[in-house]
């Protein structure tokens, strides 16, 4: 028996060493979660406007175009419960926070990161953000959270290809490319299909989180701006009317209910044209500048007044 155990240990030791080495190498790769946590750790106290949300805000808000001290804490696939978790994590440091700005996209009220196709991203909040909303053991390790090929691809990209592209200093996820008309049409239909689904599974939970955020902000004399970001017609034309209308009605009710919150529907805003989009539901650099200036204008115009 002892010999069997020794042989087994000798057999699995190389696997353990390889796995641990891969874990260390993966954790050494800079990522947007680390960058945003480090910024908030050191600068949360001075932020006046905090932008949260998923990729629509991550790529759509460039604080370099803000006139008020702002930061973009959005990340791809970041669901509304993680927005709230970030606020709670730094609440003792947000001493100068005056505005929270959150996108309410077509899918926001109906999805959670843990149950999405991007569920593997949960481990980034656990490992790099120290936000642990998951009970899954695997979310504490890089090598247990993704498929081997995906891990190898990340290692190759950083250590061999030296790909170091990360978000900008103030959190903007740069999208500088302009897609062709064909890409805009194709991506719109695909994204609309991907973002449509069971509208009842998380609706009540997510609406409550939105209200919790507003109530939390109210207790701290902070205003909340909620907006549905613009999208290209190839996306908006394919949206499920029931899901979309429920979102719009819900947000109108919330706007009416809370004095410290306001909602803006920019989904089909004519100010945004084809040249403003990276794909059908994400803005490029030009579009991000336009959206950022629009929201910053709302803030600076109403800076001493309740947004209503």
* pLDDT tens by residue, 41-94: 999 999 999 999 999 999 999 999 999 999 999 999 999 999 999 999 999 999
Q: Which residue has better confidence, 89 or 145?
A: 89
pLDDT tier at 136 (50, 70, 90 boundaries)?
Answer: confident
In a domain, 308, yes or no: no
Over range 230-240, report the average pLDDT.
Answer: 97
* pLDDT tens by residue, 248-305: 999 999 999 999 999 999 999 999 999 999 999 999 999 999 999 999 999 988 644 4
Whole-number pLDDT of residue 42:
97
In a domain, 73, yes or no: yes
In a domain, 18, yes or no: no
In a domain, 83, yes or no: yes
Q: Indicate which CATH number applies to the domain containing 65.
A: 3.40.50.1110
Determine the structural domain holding residue 266 and report its residue range: 31-301
In a domain, 17, yes or no: no
pTM for the full model? 0.91
pLDDT tier at 306 (50, 70, 90 boundaries)?
Answer: very low
The full 3-state SS of the chain, as one line of letters, equals: CHHHHHHHHHHHHHHHHHHHHHHHHHHCCCCHHHHHHHHHHHHHHHCCEEECCCHHHHCCCCHHHCCCCEEECCCCCCCHHHHHHHHHHCCCCCCCCCEEEEECCCCHHHCCHHHCCCHHHHHHHHHCCCCCCCCCHHHHCCCCCCCHHHHHHHHHHHHHCCCCCCCCCCCCCCCCCCCCHHHHHHHHHHHHHHHCCCCCCCHHHHHHHHHHHHHHHHHCCCEEEEEECCCCHHHHCCCCHHHHHHHHHHHHHHHHHCCCEEEEECCCCCCCCHHHEEECCEECHHHHHHHHHHHHHHHHHCCCCCCC
Domain count, the chain: 1
In a domain, 9, yes or no: no
In a domain, 307, yes or no: no
In a domain, 206, yes or no: yes
Q: Does 193 have pLDDT greater than 60?
A: yes
Q: Does 190 have pLDDT greater than 90?
A: yes
């Amino acid at each position: 028996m002892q010999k069997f155990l020794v042989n087994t240990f000798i057999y699995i030791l190389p696997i353990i060493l390889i796995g641990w080495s891969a874990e260390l190498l993966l954790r050494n790769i800079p990522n947007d979660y680390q960058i945003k946590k480090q910024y908030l750790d050191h600068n949360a106290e001075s932020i006046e406007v905090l932008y949260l949300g998923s990729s629509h805000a991550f790529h759509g808000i460039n604080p370099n175009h803000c006139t008020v001290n702002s930061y973009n804490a959005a990340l791809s696939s970041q669901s509304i419960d993680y927005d709230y978790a970030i606020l709670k994590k730094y609440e003792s440091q947000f001493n100068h926070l005056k505005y929270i700005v959150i996108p309410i996209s077509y899918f926001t009220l109906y999805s959670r990161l843990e149950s999405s196709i991007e569920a593997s991203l949960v481990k980034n909040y656990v490992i790099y953000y120290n936000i642990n909303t998951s009970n899954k053991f695997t979310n504490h390790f890089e090598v247990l959270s993704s498929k081997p090929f995906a891990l190898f691809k990340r290692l190759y990209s950083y250590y061999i290809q030296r790909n170091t592209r990360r978000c900008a200093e103030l959190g903007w996820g740069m999208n500088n490319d302009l897609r062709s008309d064909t890409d805009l049409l194709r991506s719109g239909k695909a994204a609309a299909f991907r973002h449509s689904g069971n509208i009842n599974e998380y609706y009540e939970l997510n609406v409550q989180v939105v209200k919790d955020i507003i109530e939390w902000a109210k207790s701290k004399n902070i205003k909340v701006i909620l907006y549905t970001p613009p999208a290209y017609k190839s996306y908006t034309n394919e949206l499920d009317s029931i899901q979309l209308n429920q979102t719009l009605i819900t947000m109108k009710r919330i706007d009416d209910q809370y004095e410290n919150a306001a909602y803006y529907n920019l989904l089909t805003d004519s100010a945004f044209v084809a040249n403003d989009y990276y794909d059908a539901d994400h803005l490029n650099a030009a579009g991000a500048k336009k959206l950022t200036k629009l929201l910053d204008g709302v803030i600076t115009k109403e800076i001493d007044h309740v947004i209503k």
